[in-house]
Amino acid sequence: MEGLVNDPGYAALLGTFGPALLDPTGSRPPARQIDGMGGPPTIRHPRELRAIPNNAILQQIGWCANTLQGLGTAVARHPQEFSDLMANSKRFRRAMQFAQHALAHSDIDVLHAVIATLDPKSWLDRAAHGASAEEREAMIAVARALEGLGMWSSSLAMLRRIQLDHLMLRGVWRDAPVMATPEMLLHALRLALVQRIWLLATRVPDFSTRYGVTRDWVETRLLRLDVSATLAILGKVFPDRPDPAGARDFHEPPAPRPTGSYVQLHQEVFAPISQYFGLVREISTAISHEVGAFG
């Protein structure tokens, strides 16, 4: 487990959008360090994340690494002893109940799907089969944004480390529990919602720097699912009603300014993003209930 904790891909996986999947709990922020723009924390090492949110994120991404990592390596060294103890030792079976529960709520394909969502190439592959030019452009835009985020390569290397250990475990513990289909479907539905949010985010128009933020900032925040704060800022940049000052007579020529509103943008982009993110959070709660724990 120590090797995994020090793997850059592990921190990237925890910090990309993991904290945004969780409702706030307790009186302290989930991370010990907050970046300077007031958005979600940038996790550079797991020690920057408090223990309960760390474990809760692992549950939400479908892999309880805090319980499972390294178990396959240990079991593969002594396969016969493991089988004998599982068959004959009540105390050993009781100790393995933690691992059994973790395996029942972990699936390597779910974890792979989460990481593949961060892969720019997967979005380019989808763009190649897009039904329309608009869809293709949106998927290419997501791929470019993910390339800038720079999380994919380190996360893929981390996945190989986890997968190797898991294969060794399954090779010995052949009747180990697996994730139930309903829980797997919850993960699939939530990933689809996340991807839909990202595609809608590509429809945010370009704008000059306003309120200290740029469109690139908005793009990064929505990739990391910092939805509520980002939509609040976008609501100021693109108001859904005209500025009342525009109708006032100040007895001098007005400076150039947008006089209209962005009702359609709110209805077709901002409101759906907010709705989908609400569903993301609801599914996270459902997954916590399936696991039977938060953290």
Place of tokens 């306003």: 210
What pLDDT score does 216 carry?
92
One-letter identity of residue 246: G
What pLDDT score does 243 carry?
57
Closest CA to 230 of 8, 7, 20: 20
pLDDT exceeds cutoff 90 at 290: yes
Domain count, the chain: 1
User: For residue range 83-127, what is the model confidence (pLDDT) as tens digits?
Assistant: 999 999 999 999 999 999 999 999 999 999 999 999 999 999 999
Measured between alpha carbons, how far is 23 from 225 in angstroms, rounded to an integer? 12
- What distance, in Å, lies between the first and last C-alpha atoms of the chain? 17
Show the domain range for 88: 2-291
Cβ-contact 227, 219 below 8 angstroms: no
User: For residue range 252-279, what is the model confidence (pLDDT) as tens digits?
Assistant: 665 555 545 689 999 999 999 999 999 9
- Mean pLDDT along residues 150-170: 91
One-letter identity of residue 4: L
Measured between alpha carbons, how far is 295 from 289 in angstroms, rounded to an integer? 12
